[in-house]
Amino acid sequence: MSQPFSCSHDQHDHCVDAALTAAERLCREQRLRLTPLRRKILTLIWQSHRPVGAYDLLEILQKEGRAAPPTVYRTLDFLLESGLVHRLATRNAYFGCTRPGQDHAGHVLICESCHVLAEIDSADVVRQIDASADAFGFEVRRQTVEVSGLCPRCRQEADHAC
Amino acid sequence: MSQPFSCSHDQHDHCVDAALTAAERLCREQRLRLTPLRRKILTLIWQSHRPVGAYDLLEILQKEGRAAPPTVYRTLDFLLESGLVHRLATRNAYFGCTRPGQDHAGHVLICESCHVLAEIDSADVVRQIDASADAFGFEVRRQTVEVSGLCPRCRQEADHAC
DNA sequence: AAGTAGTATGTTATAAAGTAACAGAAAGTT
DNA sequence: AACTTTCTGTTACTTTATAACATACTACTT
């Protein structure tokens, strides 16, 4: 799987394939059921490196038959709980996890211009947050870190425009 | 203003007063209008060190006459833009800013048990996130950091329960 | 292979969070 | 006072998410 910020359209099938392979493996190992619906939704989420809204997913499903919100949300719940996707709180949207199975904080960078998202996995950030919390006597259970700004590609385009 | 995690009920009026005084000063300096409605909502938000939902505020307003969502949201927009309150993305809720006027990232610790919230202002965390993003060539515009876990007080109670 | 327990999905209705658009009121300016 | 700008009221609506119950599928037991 290439880096989201440098993944081009013709490379992208690899990302989807890799994500599905990883999902199959994880579900086999943890005795979870990757049903057709779950596989479908996971695939849809991986169609781009952008977060996708629940109702976007619903709309796509509805083009191929009837579907209602709970179907989507239940499937998302499964994917979230099994760690195959994460939720982007600042945008009420969902995106595929790049390292399912591995315990990690799920910090992300998200581009305000093209909306491409990348998970960063900075142990330094995690530690620094833990340390800051610790100074308050606070016990950290979950870190939500969502950084918005400009991805390298959009930055370059912005420069050229000047 | 005492630390949220150690602020007791009988100290708390100081927090509200301090917040209002700071708000008045900020609005005077920046030629913003702290109208009765805005002052009212800000006061309601400061009634506790917990984040408050927009519809909670609405419900309170409705006990003293008619009110509708846009009234609340517009007022929140003003308070957000002027930096007097922040929004907690992970909970769709709002809380008073402890250092309005000063430029800062607005990182928070929030207790899963008692829901008390504290702004942390760790320059180290900010720098570490900037550095991590920089390694990707990503230009940071906004950092959202929301850490959930157990505050010192609830931690102690959890210990006693054992 | 039939029964059954558990898990997954379909379906209807509704809750919770947030916004658009226009009308009227208050404040600030000339 | 006339005018402009800003603020608030009001109605209607959009978006996001969930509750509750019905049906279908899977996997295990015998």
| pLDDT of amino acid A124 | 96
| pLDDT of amino acid A1 | 47
Give the bridge partners for B139, in sequence order. Answer: A150
| pLDDT of amino acid A145 | 98
Pairs of CB atoms within 8 A across A/B:
126
Is the residue at A47 inside a domain?
Answer: yes
Query: Is residue A51 domain-shared with residue A91, that is, in the same domain?
Result: yes
Q: Which two tokens stand for residue A18?
A: 């890799």
| Number of compact structural domains in chain B | 2
Domain extent, residue A51, equals 4-96
The band of B1, judged by pLDDT with boundaries at 50, 70 and 90, is: very low
User: CB within 7 A of strand D: which residues qualify?
Assistant: A 33, 53-55, 68-70, 73, 87, 92; B 32-33, 35-38, 66-71, 74-75, 78
Is the residue at A137 inside a domain?
Answer: yes
Is the residue at B102 inside a domain?
Answer: no
Query: Is residue B9 domain-shared with residue B89, that is, in the same domain?
Result: yes
Is the residue at B27 inside a domain?
Answer: yes
| pLDDT of amino acid B129 | 98
CA dihedral A119, A120, A125, A126 (to 10 degrees): 50
Is the residue at A102 inside a domain?
Answer: no
Query: Is residue A59 domain-shared with residue A13, that is, in the same domain?
Result: yes
Q: Which two tokens stand for residue A88?
A: 């982007």
The band of B159, judged by pLDDT with boundaries at 50, 70 and 90, is: confident
Query: Is residue A61 domain-shared with residue A114, that is, in the same domain?
Result: no
The band of A95, judged by pLDDT with boundaries at 50, 70 and 90, is: very high
The band of A41, judged by pLDDT with boundaries at 50, 70 and 90, is: very high
CATH of the domain at B15: 1.10.10.10
Is the residue at B81 inside a domain?
Answer: yes
The band of B46, judged by pLDDT with boundaries at 50, 70 and 90, is: very high
Tell which of A96, A119, A142 closes a domain.
Answer: A96
| pLDDT of B161 above 80 | no
Chain A CB within 8 Å of residue B139 CB: yes
Average pLDDT, chain A: 94
Query: Is residue B15 domain-shared with residue B66, that is, in the same domain?
Result: yes
| pLDDT of B160 above 80 | no
Query: Is residue B120 domain-shared with residue B92, that is, in the same domain?
Result: no
Is the residue at B101 inside a domain?
Answer: no
Average pLDDT, chain B: 95
Question: Mean pLDDT over residues A115-119, rounded?
Answer: 97
| Alpha carbon distance, N-terminus to C-terminus of chain B | 33
Chain B CB within 8 Å of residue A113 CB: no
Query: Is residue B35 domain-shared with residue B71, that is, in the same domain?
Result: yes
Query: Is residue A68 domain-shared with residue A112, that is, in the same domain?
Result: no
Query: Is residue A119 domain-shared with residue A44, that is, in the same domain?
Result: no
Query: Is residue B12 domain-shared with residue B92, that is, in the same domain?
Result: yes
Distance B89 CA to D28 C1' (A): 44
CATH of the domain at B153: 3.30.1490.190
The band of A121, judged by pLDDT with boundaries at 50, 70 and 90, is: confident
Query: Is residue B49 domain-shared with residue B74, that is, in the same domain?
Result: yes
Angle at B76 between CA B70 and CA B79, to 5 degrees: 145
Q: Which two tokens stand for residue B70?
A: 């846009």
Question: Mean pLDDT over residues A30-54, rounded?
Answer: 97
A96: nearest Cα among A35, A39, A32, A145: A39
Q: Which two tokens stand for residue A126?
A: 């995690």
Query: Is residue B18 domain-shared with residue B92, that is, in the same domain?
Result: yes
Tell which of B96, B118, B143 closes a domain.
Answer: B96
Question: Mean pLDDT over residues B22-50, rounded?
Answer: 97
Q: Is B147–A125 a contact, with Cβ atoms under 8 angstroms apart?
A: no
Question: Mean pLDDT over residues B50-66, rounded?
Answer: 97
| pLDDT of amino acid A51 | 98
| pLDDT of A9 above 60 | yes
Amino acid at site A55 = Y
Is the residue at B151 inside a domain?
Answer: yes
The band of B118, judged by pLDDT with boundaries at 50, 70 and 90, is: very high
Q: Which two tokens stand for residue A4?
A: 């989201």
How much of chain B, in percent, has pLDDT values that exceed 70? 98
